[in-house]
Chain A
């Protein structure tokens, strides 16, 4: 079996007294698309932030290509980060720069290429996400879906080995959201990348996922393929797939008591 590209071992983290991640163990293999799924606030974005080194854990290790990013020196971290791309939930394009400058920025900063070559590479990336001709637009002039595409082009600008996407279809209409999913699929086959997607959109999961990791309350509740998850009998997994709301635990008297409580 191939060696995992990302290995997470016994990862714990907390915000103040709230224990968010409670001992996550996860292997992510090269060239697979892993979808991290879960309810809002279950810790899936936090997990992603730890993998890309934005947060440091209370305890545990995260190996990326064999290097523990939680203990890596600044230089080692830089080397790892340059081979990763991240698509943020809001896009996080730099609003003071044009779309083209946004995409070209990592290339300008990290490669010795001259400007004309960088310009060609920038146009190639924009073409890849279907935004040719938009390089001189400011991010504020783009629609939500276009912003996501531009942010994706920026995440791809250094030809990363691993691409992380935080809620790629959040806040987009269904047609644009499907468009983003198909774009991710296209990139996967065209560029042979490992892709890690955090989402709670079930439709999106069944389009793109090779494997699915379902987080609940800071723990991995399920890890397996699309077929595995459909066959699962775990009550939470079933509830999640069937989109059933939590059962009402409060009766009328409790509700009244809660309202008048000091």
Chain B
């Protein structure tokens, strides 16, 4: 009985903590958005140089890995789809499956997960290390707001770069499907191209981009929040970095569920 109590007690407490953290992340997000979109009109400078550096780090440097993984995912979906569709002699519909799945779901999701692993964790580690070495305190004593100075450039960069990477992921993934269709399934290039063009609606593509924009905000904010919350030394930085990846991926997938319900639910 007491074991049962402890188990439920612990899970209840953890769940409560989780919601407290989510509320605090939401609060930080509110502040960051104010610093990004409202503060510049009140005479606070946006740090474009730093934003540009972050865009290169988060965006340009992820192009190879996003491309390779999206290409592989395109191939995988095409193979799995072909395996089922072959039974009905309908392999041409591989084009529909690959393009719609990638634009609606997998493009934004794969990009978000890669960016979380590469850059969300880096944000947590950088800000966390700065916290441990008193650099955040130093910023405050220089009358420089850490949110305006550190979070805003990263958030802005994410909001621009993640949707761009998503577009790349969509196209490269579809190209992966193309390669399989032409080489393995022996479909005609033009037929596959036309089938893809017919299958895709603007809505598929645009909803994917809207999602990726919000994923970008989640990744940047969770990373920053975990960074600011580092306690202790190097071990604390390590823990926060890990937590940032886990929480980001969870929130991204949960947000994806909500958006899919909003955009495509027929209930």
- A86 near B135: Cβ-Cβ < 8 Å: no
A162 CB to closest chain B CB (Å) equals 11
Contact B140 A109 (CB under 8 A): no
Q: List which A47-87 residues lie within 8 A (CB) of chain B.
A: 49, 52-54, 77-78, 81-82, 84, 86
B143:A110 contact, CB within 8 angstroms? yes
Per the CB 8 Å criterion, the residue count for chain B at the interface is 14
Please report whether the interface of chain B is mostly helix, strand, loop or mixed according to DSSP: helix
Decide if A116 is an interface residue (CB 8 Å cutoff).
no
Asked if B137 is an interface residue, CB under 8 A from chain A, the answer is: yes
A93→B143 CA distance, assembly (Å)? 15
Contacts of B144 in A (CB 8 A): 105-106, 109
Kindly report which residue of chain B lies nearest to residue A78, judged by CB atoms.
Answer: B143
Contacts of B87 in A (CB 8 A): none
Indicate if B202 sits at the interface (CB-CB under 8 A): no
Any chain B CB within 8 A of the CB of A233? Answer: no
Q: How far is the CB of A99 from chain B (nearest CB, A)?
A: 14
Total contacts A-B at CB 8 Å: 47
Which B residues are in CB contact (< 8 Å) with A95? Answer: 129, 133, 135
**B143 & A54 in contact (Cβ 8 Å cutoff):** no
Identify A109's interface contact among B45, B129, B130, CB under 8 A: B45
A88 at interface (Cβ–Cβ under 8 A)?
Answer: yes
Query: Is B267 interfacial (CB 8 A cutoff)?
Result: no
In contact, A92 and B134 (Cβ under 8 angstroms): yes
Contact B142 A94 (CB under 8 A): no
B121-164 vs A, Cβ < 8 Å mask (1 yes, 0 no): 00000100110011101101111100000000000000000000
Instruction: List chain B residues, Cβ under 8 A from A88.
Output: 134, 137-138
Which of the listed residues B45, B135, B137, B141 has the most CB atoms from chain A within 10 Å of its own CB?
B141
Residues A95-135 near B (CB distance < 8 A): 95-96, 105-106, 109-110
Chain B residues with a Cβ under 8 A of chain A: 45, 126, 129-130, 133-135, 137-138, 140-144
A-to-B contact residues, CB < 8 Å = 49, 52-54, 77-78, 81-82, 84, 86, 88-90, 92-96, 105-106, 109-110, 158
